[in-house]
């Protein structure tokens, strides 16, 4: 069980914090008394609208931009937890996939994960403690047609977490990944194929329910808050002996 006060006074970073899983993780940590949250997202107004009670440093920027991390690293004396989560969806069969979509997906989902992780580990190595969670996806485990760029980026994220865990154990840092299945977040609304589905099913909730019925044995998507609590568990001392794992939270999609 996650201790009531173990996050109290800690410093944490969350990427992709303006929406969905990242926003829920920021709220989860805020509720548990962290002293400071460093929040990163392209959507700066979204970060400013979170209304958290702890000290926050909100940075609007692209996680795939090395200069953002260089700047932040200069000014980051301590970091206890990192939720490395920013990501975008993309779709298209390989035969139709253009290189720009491939590169954009890899830049945000993989370069961004690497740069965020490198900064977090540099600070945590100096202090000899810390825990990190990378948001992967069930798409990194289960092959589905039309998801090549996204799936490849997420499979690589899982392996990145494992290699990081192997390297960081010697300086007291744990690194894990989480692989959600469908989660009710804005990521779906950003996909151009989603609006017609909403129209076809007569509403957003109905469209998500239909998608879940088709592909998820447990019959529903997760909420962002449910996934945030699972990330919180991996960050916490309740997971003190867990490193290099990928927690699959997919309602059975990958079975
Ligand atoms: P979301 O779209 O609600 O939130 C993603 C956030 O990341 C947004 O606020 C967006 O502005 C930000 N972002 C995107 N590109 C960025 C960049 N280059 N730099 C900085 N910020 C950027 O989506 P979500 O569902 O909360 O997704 C969070 C993570 O969860 C992603 O890595 C996604 O791949 C993963 N995931 C989501 C689902 C799902 O069904 N929602 C399932 C599996 C995995």
What is the β-pairing status of strands 36-41 and 130-135?
unpaired
Distance (angstroms) between ligand 1 centre and the Cα of 150 equals 12
Cβ neighbour number for residue 241 with a 10 Å cutoff: 7
Query: 4 pLDDT exceeds 90?
Result: no
What SS3 string covers the chain? Answer: CCCCCCCCCCEEEEECCCCHHHHHHHHHHHHCCCCEEEEEECCHHHHHCCCCCCEEEEEECCCCCHHHHHHHHHCCCCCCEEEECCCCCCCECHHHCCHHHHHHHHHHHHHHHHHHHHHHHHHHHHHCCEEEEEECCHHHCCCCCCEHHHHHHHHHHHHHHHHHHHHHHHHCEEEEEEEECCEECHHHHCCCCHHHHHHHHCCHHHHHHHHHHHHCCCCCCEEHHHHHHHHHHHHCHHHCCCCCCEEEECCCCCC
Q: 182 CB under 6 A from ligand 1?
A: yes
Q: What CATH number should be reported for the domain holding residue 85?
A: 3.40.50.720
Smallest CA-to-CA distance from 177 within 152, 156, 191 is with 156
| Domain identity same for 202 and 242 | no
User: Residues 69, 114, 150, 188: which is the catalytic one?
Assistant: 150
Instruction: Tell whether 108 is covered by a domain.
Output: yes
Higher pLDDT, 3 or 125: 125
| Domain identity same for 75 and 19 | yes
Q: 228 CB under 6 A from ligand 1?
A: no
Instruction: Tell whether 3 is covered by a domain.
Output: no
List, for residues 26-81, the tens digit of each pLDDT value. 999 999 999 999 999 999 999 999 999 999 999 999 999 999 999 999 889 999 99
| Domain identity same for 154 and 196 | no
For residue 53, the model assigns a pLDDT of 97
**In contact, 91 and 147? CB cutoff 8 Å:** yes
> How confident is the model over 13-37, as a mean pLDDT?
98
| Domain identity same for 108 and 202 | no
**Mean pLDDT, the chain, as a whole number?**
97
Q: 130 CB under 6 A from ligand 1?
A: no
| Domain identity same for 74 and 87 | yes
Residue whose CA lies nearest to ligand 1 atom number 1:
187
> Is 171 among the residues known to form the active site?
no
Q: 231 CB under 6 A from ligand 1?
A: no
Q: 64 CB under 6 A from ligand 1?
A: yes
Distance (angstroms) between ligand 1 centre and the Cα of 20 equals 7
List, for residues 97-134, the tens digit of each pLDDT value. 999 999 999 999 999 999 999 999 999 999 999 999 99
> How confident is the model over 187-216, as a mean pLDDT?
95
| Domain identity same for 121 and 39 | yes
Instruction: Tell whether 170 is covered by a domain.
Output: yes
Q: 85 CB under 6 A from ligand 1?
A: yes
Residue whose CA lies nearest to ligand 1 atom number 41:
183
| Domain identity same for 49 and 66 | yes
The distance in angstroms from the start CA to the end CA of the chain is 27
Report residue 1's pLDDT band, with 50, 70 and 90 as the boundaries: confident
Distance (angstroms) between ligand 1 centre and the Cα of 23 equals 10
For residue 41, the model assigns a pLDDT of 98
| Domain identity same for 21 and 119 | yes
Range of the domain at 190: 184-220
Query: 224 pLDDT exceeds 90?
Result: yes
For residue 3, the model assigns a pLDDT of 78
Instruction: Tell whether 128 is covered by a domain.
Output: yes
Q: 42 CB under 6 A from ligand 1?
A: yes
Atom of ligand 1 nearest to the CA of 62: 19
| Domain identity same for 117 and 104 | yes
Q: Count of domains in the chain?
A: 2
Structure-block tokens of residue 4: 């009531």
Cβ neighbour number for residue 15 with a 10 Å cutoff: 28
Residue whose CA lies nearest to ligand 1 atom number 6:
16
């Amino acid at each position: 069980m996650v201790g009531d006060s173990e996050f109290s006074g800690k410093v944490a970073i969350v990427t992709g914090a303006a929406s969905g899983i990242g926003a829920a993780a920021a709220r989860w940590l805020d509720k548990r008394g962290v002293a400071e949250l460093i929040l990163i997202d392209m959507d700066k107004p979204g970060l400013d609208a979170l209304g958290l009670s702890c000290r926050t440093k909100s940075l609007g920027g692209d996680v795939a931009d090395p200069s953002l991390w260089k700047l932040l690293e200069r000014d980051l004396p301590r970091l206890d937890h990192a939720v490395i989560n920013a990501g975008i969806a993309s779709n298209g069969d390989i035969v139709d996939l253009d290189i720009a979509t491939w590169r954009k997906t890899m830049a945000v989902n993989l370069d961004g994960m690497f740069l965020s992780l490198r900064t977090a580990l540099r600070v945590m190595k100096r202090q000899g403690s810390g825990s990190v969670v990378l948001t992967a996806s069930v798409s990194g485990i289960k092959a589905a047609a039309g998801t090549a760029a996204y799936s490849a980026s997420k499979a690589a994220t899982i392996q990145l977490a494992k290699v990081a865990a192997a390297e960081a154990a010697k300086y007291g840092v744990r690194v894990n990944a989480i692989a959600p299945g469908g989660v009710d977040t804005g990521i779906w609304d950003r996909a151009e194929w989603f609006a017609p589905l909403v129209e076809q099913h007569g509403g957003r909730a109905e469209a998500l329910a239909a998608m879940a019925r088709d592909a998820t044995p447990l019959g529903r998507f997760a909420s962002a808050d449910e996934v945030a609590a699972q990330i919180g568990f991996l960050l916490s001392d309740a997971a003190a002996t867990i490193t290099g794992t990928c927690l699959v939270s997919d309602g059975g999609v990958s079975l």
